[in-house]
Structure 1
């Protein structure tokens, strides 16, 4: 298992030639509160070569738990959320799969990652053997309400992973603008 830092890349299929499916495990801890509690919500966006969402239907989250062709599905809760990605079934039109978490403003009101600790994204094989892990550094989380944890992307006929930890202070509005989504 390789531990990653923000901005680093790792070859997935080049180092694991038989890798056809990956499991994305997303987790965090929240600080208990007597008031409104932040509600982190994972989301995956399938992007074309321009880095934008292929379509609004290529957004996978709690209301749409599978991509249109079934290559990405929400799978389990061993971590807070687990997402299965069948790399061989991802449409050729998809160049990048962005993995995000946002604080749901509709559940408990506006919130930030200020009360969220130990956020991570791990990439595992089909048997849940961890290949890569990115622990998000806890920097300025009290202003962040949406974050790109990392992305799977095509490279040289295979797949790579990039750790990001890029935060947004304007939440889903900024995510929708960056990825050209109607949220």
Structure 2
């Protein structure tokens, strides 16, 4: 049975699941009734962070235009442009045993593509969640439902995998940003054009 987390909670992942090496991070959301004349396109992205909380290079930013990072240990399975249907809207596969030692944290984010230009924000999005699955058994291990009302934010850091004493843990972050993907990327040390 999955462990359900609230914002700010942290839970052990590998210590309580011995032998766990490959996980799938599932991200999901629904768009509320919206009549702004523009379609909603939510995107998941991943930042592979060093001990200072920064990316080492552009290749440590995994998203729809760069589907792999961490020497192939983190793989984005592709962009879902509508968010329609049940289940995960986007997924990221992580091979925990292959993540380079220079990576201390793996941050999972959801952004609204062109959210500011389209006057869209996470106040118009519901049922957002992140979950961690055992890739081999498809068992849901951890789930965090973002029940908070992000009324003006266009980007959210939903959760992070991080190393602690040689084990992997998961943190339910739930931190919102204005400025979309560009502000997130800048926050994590990327130069944005």
The alignment's TM-score, normalised by the length of structure 2, stands at: 0.88
Structure 1 residues 12 and 19, CA gap change in structure 2 (3 angstroms): same
Which runs of structure 2 are paired with 1:43-122 in the superposition (5 Å)?
Answer: 43-67=45-69, 69-75=71-77, 79-105=88-114, 109-122=118-131
Q: Give the conservation status (yes or no) of the 8 Å contact 1:38–1:108.
A: no
Give unmatched runs, 5+ long, in structure 1: none
2:40 aligns with 38
> Which consecutive residues of structure 2, in runs of 5 or more, have no partner in the other structure?
81-86
Alpha-carbon offset, residue 176 of structure 1: 2.3
Instruction: Give the superposed CA RMSD.
Output: 1.8
Q: Which runs of 4+ in 1 moved over 4 A?
A: none
* Preserved contact between residue 23 and residue 85 of structure 1 (Cα < 8 Å): yes
SS at match of 1:154: strand
Q: Determine the C-alpha separation between the residues in 1 that align with 2:154 and 2:116.
A: 13
- Corresponding residue for residue 9 of structure 1: 10
Q: Is the CA contact 2:116–2:154 (under 8 Å) kept in the aligned structure 1?
A: no
Q: Following TM superposition, by how much is the alpha carbon of 1:172 offset from its aligned partner in structure 2, in angstroms?
A: 2.5
Structure 1 residue 131 corresponds to structure 2 residue 133: no
Q: 8 Å contact 1:117–1:138 — kept in the other structure?
A: no
In 2, distance between residues paired with 1:171 and 1:39? 12
Task: State the Cα deviation string for residues 119-158 of structure 1 (Å, max 9, x = none).
Answer: 000001012200000000232x220100000000000101
Return the alpha-carbon distance in structure 1 between the equivalents of residues 185 and 116 of structure 2: 19
User: Hey, what's the Cα distance between the residues in 2 that align with 1:166 and 1:39?
Assistant: 20
* Aligned mate of 2:177, from 160, 165, 168: 168
